[in-house]
Chains A and B, each alone.
Chain A
Amino acid sequence: MWATNLKVVGIVLGTLALYTLIANKIPQVQSEVPQALSLGANVTPEQLVAAGEKVFNGIGGCPTCHGLGTRAPNLLTDEKGTGPIGARCGKREPGKSCKQYLFESLDNPTAYIVSGYQPIMPVMTKQLSLQQVWAVIAFLESQGGTVDVTASDIPATSSASTTSPTGSGGGGGGGGGLAGGSTDPKAIIQAAGCLACHKLEGQGQVIAPDLTHVGSRRNAESIRKKILDPASSVTKGYEKLAGIMPKSFGTMMNAAQLEALAQYLAAHK
């Protein structure tokens, strides 16, 4: 009987070992938590391309569909004789530069459906921070084209959909936050889309109170409260618009970002 028992144990262990071995022999891909991407004002095209390649192959998950030839157009290799994406992006839409076309494709993927493919691509500006998006664009341009994305592009682009609730994977009380977790107040304002309603330093709309001199009527504490709970106080003259400001900004930012933004705005006397 002991011989039978040993055989049974051997078969069980052998089967488990075989499956474990095979699973360890295949390429190992771990799903990483997205990290905040911090690109300074002096970022070079090479740095953008390198960062973009990481996002493309990592958190972006782009090769899942692009490059396989069946789900979405090839980006890194030739697509039906038109070359890789960098070589063809500038010719896709008349009047649009390569980077304009690529940004719009990432921000509104259904705008330019390539013939023969389904509209399955998610809105990448909701999945990634703006910095990550622009880094990916630089990487795509480098595939057979010329990289013309610069640091100035990153804060220069405003889009309603860039008010990503999750930023670069933040949200939910996590430590990520808007704009890839950056504590640069301008980047936070850009990512949160504040200027879609407020005006600041000559930019933005006047639907909501002008923030150019907000520091003269609110201190940092008051601004912080207002961001966390917009209904806590209403600026005189804007009573009819009470309740329009989203309540979610407090959870979209981490504590450091909230503090940086409050101090920045309070300094606008």
Chain B
Amino acid sequence: MTDSALLLLQAAADTTHAYGEFPVIGARAFVWITAEVHLMFAAFVLGVPMFAVVTEAIGIFGGDERYDRLSKEFTRLLLVAYSATAIWGAMLVFGLSTLYPRFWAYLTAIFAPSMWVYAGLFFIESFTLYLYYYGWDRWKKGRAKLGHWTLGILLNVWGTIVMFIANSWLTYMMSPPRDITPTTDPTTIKLWHAIANATWMPINVHRVIANVVFGGAIVGAYASYRFLAARTDEERAHYDWMGYVGNFIAMSALIVLPFAGYWLGREIYQYDQSMGITMMGGFMSWLWVIQAFLIAVLFLTGNYYLWIGMGRIPGAERFRPYTKYLLMVLVLGAIVWGTPHTMIADSKELAAMGGSHHPFLGALGVMSAKNTAVNLMILTTFLSFLLYRRANTRPVVPWARAGTIIQGAMFAVAAGVVLFYGIRGYFVEAIVRIGFSVYQVLAVLSCIVFVTVIDILMARGAQSLGAIQWGKMPPRSQYALFILAVTFTWLMGLMGFARSGIRQYWHVWQVMQDTSKYAATPALGYASKMISLCVLIFLALVSFVFWLGGLAEKSTYVSTEKGPGHVGH
């Protein structure tokens, strides 16, 4: 080994030139903000096309032109949002390359080819979007319309691949393959080996679903603002309906999201036990209490929106007495879910508590109680949807009564299974208890699927009790949609902090250490301020984007074709 190589090795240990500094807020805060706001825009521009293409398909194959118009309005929101996504992405790259040059050099040494593919696909994706939007009115009929719809599908394909590529970089930071050590020369690491790391696919799936949730929530907030600003009843009816669709999509996808999260969590545990423990029970343990609170807000607000919405549906009054019971289940579930349990406590705190658990709350803080609570909350939310769906119809099939009884029995059985395994979980070992959550989830999902199938069959030829009075919603219902959007966005920031924070003082887990002055992972208080700031920046910018969209073109609200007379949902 030459002297120069020796000096190089020693220089590698020196962190002097590994980090830059950003004025006032510091390097970490700059990268945090740019990464988070970029990710929020990226989630939006990936989530919205998913249901733009679905709603367009409903318009094409269902013959309801409202959906086609809705899809176009979604897509219009994307145009400027794409630019914002790219701008924030560029700021992130500048931040990383100037403030964390050593880390950035390491990452590019492994992933450079994928970065070029990423840039190329982003280019193709943008032009597909332009074709998709500006070709809307030109390719409106027949086969041309199908071709146009294919463009929408391609838009989603490019976007999803782009996201998967970016996910490989950040998941490599979390879970680099085990054969890679601090001494591994990054240029010798095979690209696919680095991409296909332990958490890559779980993150991919989780983000695809989360993007749908996020896109639905933001579109719901957009619709609610347009509803509040509407000057005519027609416009108000259109945006009321749009808000309902956005909320429906967001809440439906939200119900599936925990299962993807569970898979991701399991992979993290399997990859590195200590990382999993840090995430769920270490310094991040309080984060999950905050998460529980946020999800409780989502469930309560989502249900509240539905219950208010039933006020505009003739026939819904017969279900109103049940609302208070649904509310009780949701509140009790939220309280149990938010009960702290696995907390870092020192000997003094343990002594003050009188033991390792709180004498009363300790029993509610365990997973048996929490899983039971959340499954019952999901069942309750589904019941709210069912009542909403059924509000203005009376089934006329001969087996309607029997069908309703069977549906009720399915709810009872599902709730019974959830409660049984929840209680039984207290009397078995942890490894057995973990398996119980699968039975609980299966019971709830089976109930949702079979009850929905019965409901669809039962609704055939149903007697209408009157059309939904779209637009006749009190303003407070629209503010609920805003709360949902803010909460979803904040939750995304919180979970991003959890995912990134579990690496603690490592740029790349146990391969490249963060030796900067920002290496310590901040407490939740500081993180919450950063998250709120990012949410505020994002919402301010996205409002501006929407305002620009409104300037460029008149609203595409439906005029009269099917308006107030529409019965279905």
Contact = CB atoms under 8 A, between A and B. Distances in A.
A180 interface: no
Interface in A203-244: 224-225, 228-229, 232
Nearest to A171: B182
Interface residues of A, number: 67
Most buried by B among A12, A122, A228, A248: A12
A122 B273 contact: yes
B33 interface: no
A70 B346 contact: no
B515 A174 contact: yes
Interface string A50-78: 00010001000101110111110010110
Given A61-B277, A63-B345, A255-B10, A172 B512 contact: yes
A263 B350 CA distance: 49
A171 B513 contact: yes
Nearest to A23: B528
B505 A33 contact: yes
A61 B275 CA distance: 11
B527 interface: yes
A11 B183 CA distance: 52
Interface stretch (A13-21, A94-102, A147-155, A186-194): A13-21
A201 interface: no
A242 to B, nearest CB: 15
| Interface size band for B | 35 or more
A15 B487 contact: yes
Interface stretch (B135-143, B148-156, B318-326, B516-524): B516-524
B281 A64 contact: yes
A17 B529 CA distance: 9
B303 to A, nearest CB: 17
Interface in A151-209: 165-166, 169-176
Contacts of A57: 344, 346
Interface stretch (B44-52, B64-72, B385-393, B478-486): B478-486
A1 interface: yes
B504 A31 contact: yes
Contacts of B182: 165-166, 171-173, 248, 251
Interface stretch (B110-118, B192-200, B283-291, B400-408): B283-291
A76 B350 contact: yes
Contacts of A174: 13, 15, 513, 515
Given A31-B504, A127-B274, A1 B342 contact: no
B25 interface: no
Interface string B1-32: 10001100110111100000000000000000
Contact of A33 (B12, B355, B486, B520): B520
A42 interface: no
A78 to B, nearest CB: 8
A176 B277 CA distance: 24
Given A15-B483, A16-B532, A77-B356, A8 B228 contact: yes
Contacts of A13: 536
Given A11-B483, A77-B356, A27 B529 contact: no
B487 A118 contact: no
A15 B486 contact: yes
B9 to A, nearest CB: 6
Contacts of A229: 1, 5
B357 interface: yes
A167 B225 CA distance: 56
A172 B504 CA distance: 14
Contacts of A20: 528-529, 531-532
A121 B274 CA distance: 8
Contact of B513 (A29, A74, A169): A169
Nearest to A176: B513
A176 B519 CA distance: 13
Contacts of A258: 10
A33 B289 CA distance: 24
B350 A77 contact: yes
Given A24-B528, A29-B523, A69 B344 contact: no
Given A32-B520, A33-B519, A64-B281, A228 B357 contact: no
Interface in B332-362: 341-347, 350, 355-357
Given A67-B350, A116-B429, A1 B356 contact: no
A111 interface: no
B9 A64 contact: no
Among B290, B431, B505, B539, residue most surrounded by chain A Cβ atoms (within 10 Å): B505
A169 B505 contact: yes
Contacts of A224: 6
Instruction: Identify which of B9, B15, B278, B293 gathers the most chain A CB atoms within 10 Å of its CB.
Output: B9
A165 B505 CA distance: 16
B366 interface: yes
A31 B505 contact: yes
Q: Most chain-A CB neighbours within 10 Å: which of B13, B366, B505?
A: B13
A76 B350 CA distance: 8
A12 B273 CA distance: 38
A255 to B, nearest CB: 5
Interface string B227-270: 01100000000000000000000000000000000000000000
B441 interface: no
B9 A250 contact: yes
B372 to A, nearest CB: 16
Contacts of B527: 23
A119 to B, nearest CB: 10
Given A12-B486, A33-B505, A33-B519, A27 B286 contact: yes
Q: Sorted from nearest, which 3 A-B pairs have the closest CB atoms?
A: A23-B528, A174-B513, A28-B523
Given A11-B486, A34-B505, A173-B512, 17 more contacts: A11-B482, A12-B536, A15-B482, A22-B293, A22-B528, A26-B524, A29-B286, A30-B523, A31-B505, A65-B281, A67-B350, A120-B273, A172-B513, A174-B515, A175-B15, A248-B183, A251-B182
Interface of A: 1, 4, 7-8, 11-13, 15-17, 19-20, 22-24, 26-34, 53, 57, 61, 63-65, 67-71, 74, 76-77, 116, 118, 120-122, 127, 143, 165-166, 169-176, 224-225, 228-229, 232, 247-248, 250-251, 254-255, 258
26 contacts: A7-B475, A8-B479, A11-B482, A16-B486, A20-B528, A24-B529, A26-B289, A26-B290, A28-B523, A31-B520, A32-B520, A33-B520, A61-B344, A64-B278, A67-B345, A67-B356, A70-B342, A70-B366, A70-B430, A120-B273, A174-B13, A247-B183, A248-B182, A251-B12, A255-B10, A255-B14
